[in-house]
Amino acid sequence: MVVRFLARFATRRFVAPTRSPSLPRRRMGQPALFLHLLLLLLFALCWGQRSNPGGKRPRCGRCDPRLACNCSHAGLTRVPSVAAGARTLDLSFNDISEVAADDLTGHARLEALSLHGNKLAVIHPSAFDSLWSLEELDLSDNQLAVLHRRWFSRLGVLRELNLLHNPYSCLGSRPVFQRLVGLRRLRIGGPALEELKRRDLTGITQLEELTVHANNLTRYEAGTLGDVWPLGRVTLSLHGPFLTNVSLASAVLRDVSYPETQLILDDLHLIGNRSVLPLRETARKRVRKMSFHNLSVSDEAITDFLVALDGIPLTSVFMDGIMLTGEGRWEGARLTDYKSIDEFFLRNVVVLNVFHFTSFLELAFLLKYPRKVSVINSQVFVMPCLTSRLLVNLQYLDLSDNLLTDMTLVETLCDGDGTLKGLRALNLSGNALKSLSTMSRQVAKLSKLTHLDISRNGYSSMPQGCSWPSTLRYLNISRAKLTTITSCLPATLEVLDLSYNDLKGFLLILPALRELHLSGNKLLRLPLGWLFPNLQTLTIQSNTLNMFDRSDLESYSRLQDLQAGQNKFVCSCDFVHFLQSVVKEAGGVHLTDREESYVCDSPFSLQGEPVGRVQLSVVVCQRVLFVSVSCGVALLVGLLVCVLLWRLHAFWYLRMTWAWLRAKRGSQRRRRRDGPESEALLSYDAFVSYSERDASWVENLLVPELEQPRDNDEGSVNHRPLTLCLHKRDFLPGRWIVDNIMSAMERSRRTLFILSENFVQSDWCRYELDFSHFQLFSGSAGGDAAILVLLEPLSKDDIPRRFCKLRKLMSSNTYLEWPQEEERSEEFWRRLRLALRGEEDDRERRTS
């Protein structure tokens, strides 16, 4: 059979208090000072060449935000350069063979340095000088053959030092730890350690933890370890001395054994009665707690051990990784007294002669006292009922990770007859049990049982009814194969663990339940909260929950802690908002798992995104609000635009354009119909465009003046009266006014605009103006079809900008001004008549 040994864990904590380093100072005489300055100068001069000695130093940038730099397993052959303010530096498992003088300079804030598992053979004496804040130093598993006291001379705040497994045979000729007054954890030794001398630990006064690997120790000066006190915990590997040099082993044990000190002995091989002799020293010092790791022991040694420790107030024996080479015949120690023994803890026990191994029947002397017995992972397939009957004081029994079956369990618990009546906690985790009804029947009479751990067994179904002790509070059936739950679960439970089963639902009232663990099942939603009026903690990770909401949580009246990560969350708006508010502890429920474990599973675009970081837009989440707000905004903008357009007279322009287009089309139609001889249509000399407000001037002055024949005219052309077209008089009733205007203008040779303030105000006048423009350029009449008469002085700048046409006309055409003085009016009329007639005369002259 193979011996199984426990791996030893070296737990290294990186503590980080800040402490101001204190610089050791030396007083110098004048000449010395001068010399120093000179040296400094030389040094400064040489610095240029020396700044990068021995090629490039590698860099390691693997530092986290708290400046913990992890450069382990990086294949480094030299100490790399790292961030200047680094707090911890892990260089373990590299190939570094040397720490040079300036490799670690500038790391005054470094608190923990690990060089574990390298090939360190050389460390410069002053390599650690600048590490004023260093509290933990790990140099284990290297090639250091000599320890240098100079290394540690500046490490005044060092608390933890590990020098294990280096090939040094002694700690040095002079005390190396002298300056380490703050040291609390020290690990020394290795396969090569041969000698420990009296002054080796000078400087160390008290330790929380001391580990000495001295399997090959051959010389030990008594008292070497004896000066350290108080001593919290001592771990000794003294394989060789126990076998070959009993007096040496005894001397070591004598120095470290104290009633309050926990003693851990590693790697012992106890065969004959001689090898047990050193333990008499511990017995003499009345040690209370003893542990053995990696122990192989014979029947004789056990008997001797029991005899040796007879009567001392030993309270607990802890054995991890033991090989029993005998047959369990320990009755030689039956007269011993172990009244004070409280706990036996055995783990990873291997029995070499398992078929010859006798029961523990003769061990009544040993078994009737302990309250706690653990036999873990030791291939126990049965504990005979007779043995159980011996454990009369037993309150806690842990048989986890063994080979118990339903049948052997019946034997172990004496068919449920109430043996082990004081039992309060039973741990049968990790066995081969299959029947819950057998289980419940076997423990039903254990009238004090409160804790039952039957996790990691083969339970696949639950009977309808079970008979549990009424005291049962804690039940762990996790990591089984249960698919449903029934009222088999007792209502007295306060803690129930059903995680990692195949449950699809949970419908059972458990009024006393405080903690419910349902992780790793197939639940689609949270169980109904009113089933558990007292529930405070619920873990339901790794199920198939899609979502849960406030009302789900509110149905739990007392829930405080919830773990629901690693589910298949559908990240709807409601859920995302709800969860983000719960994360902020708005709901009174505290999410105790990490926020990052809440990850969206759908919609696809959000898959893999932590819910806490999802940002859903308003468009997605507040659709109704969004639509109504955007409609409102659109309406408002529309309104604003309308107002703006109105202010900018856009409607006017629009109407204008429309009228213009219609007019143009109409005129084209007319022209096609009438043919090119449109001249025949000209039935007026002028169309008069004027504002209604200026009507009096037009009717009383203009019309009589121009339409009545004049006899006193000097020119021959002036004999004929002019025909004018006035909208009031000549427009055809019933037609669209624009058409009327259009045709009136077309049928007139010229258009006469009576400009005044009023004209500018009038819409119609402006139309007319525009039509005239249209005619000016597209019509038959020539350049001066429009004649402007200014009724009152009107400068171009008085005309609003948008009447660009009028402004243009005013600047291009000369205009006639109605004179304010009476006597000049004759002149005005003459010129007007001339203007109105001008072209006609030309034409007459041409035709004649």
Ligand X SMILES: *[C@@H]1O[C@H](CO)[C@@H](O)[C@H](O)[C@H]1NC(C)=O
- Site for ligand X, rule CB under 6 A: 5, 191-192, 215-216, 239-240, 267, 269, 273, 294, 376, 398, 400, 425, 427, 429, 451, 453, 455-456, 476, 478-479, 495, 497, 517
Say how far residue 258 (Cα) sits from the centre of its chain: 49
Rg (C-alpha) for the chain, rounded Å, is 55
**For residue 565, what are its two tokens?**
């990560």
Pick between residue 299 and residue 768 the one whose CB is nearest to ligand X.
299
Q: Minimum distance from CB of 29 to ligand X (Å)?
A: 48
Pick between residue 425 and residue 616 the one whose CB is nearest to ligand X.
425
Q: Minimum distance from CB of 530 to ligand X (Å)?
A: 23
Using the 8-state DSSP alphabet, how is residue 272 labeled?
S
Backbone φ, ψ for residue 74 (5° rounding): -110, 5
Pick between residue 144 and residue 702 the one whose CB is nearest to ligand X.
144
Backbone φ, ψ for residue 706 (5° rounding): -95, -30
Pick between residue 451 and residue 577 the one whose CB is nearest to ligand X.
451
Pick between residue 375 and residue 663 the one whose CB is nearest to ligand X.
375
Q: Minimum distance from CB of 614 to ligand X (Å)?
A: 32
Pick between residue 133 and residue 499 the one whose CB is nearest to ligand X.
499
Q: Minimum distance from CB of 28 to ligand X (Å)?
A: 45
Q: Minimum distance from CB of 580 to ligand X (Å)?
A: 29
Pick between residue 440 and residue 455 the one whose CB is nearest to ligand X.
455
Q: Is 559 helix (H, G, I), strand (E, B) or coil?
A: coil
Pick between residue 399 and residue 781 the one whose CB is nearest to ligand X.
399
Q: Minimum distance from CB of 106 to ligand X (Å)?
A: 38
Contacts of 784 (CB under 8 A, 6+ apart): 750, 813, 835, 838, 839
DSSP characters over 147-195: --GGGGTT-TT--EEE--S---SSS-SS-SSTT-TT--EEEEE-TT--E
Pick between residue 440 and residue 572 the one whose CB is nearest to ligand X.
440
Q: Minimum distance from CB of 296 to ligand X (Å)?
A: 6
Q: Are 720 and 709 in contact (CB under 8 A)?
A: yes
Q: Is 80 exposed, middle or buried (CB count within 10 Å of its CB: 0-12, 13-18, 19+)?
A: buried
Cα–Cα distance for residue pair 436/430, rounded to 1 Å = 15
Q: Minimum distance from CB of 192 to ligand X (Å)?
A: 4
Pick between residue 240 and residue 527 the one whose CB is nearest to ligand X.
240
Q: Is 231 exposed, middle or buried (CB count within 10 Å of its CB: 0-12, 13-18, 19+)?
A: buried
Say how far residue 433 (Cα) sits from the centre of its chain: 41
Q: Is 806 exposed, middle or buried (CB count within 10 Å of its CB: 0-12, 13-18, 19+)?
A: buried
Q: Minimum distance from CB of 269 to ligand X (Å)?
A: 4
Helix axes 804-812, 763-778, angle to 10 degrees: 60
Q: Are 806 and 815 in contact (CB under 8 A)?
A: no
Q: Minimum distance from CB of 295 to ligand X (Å)?
A: 8
Q: Are 488 and 508 in contact (CB under 8 A)?
A: no
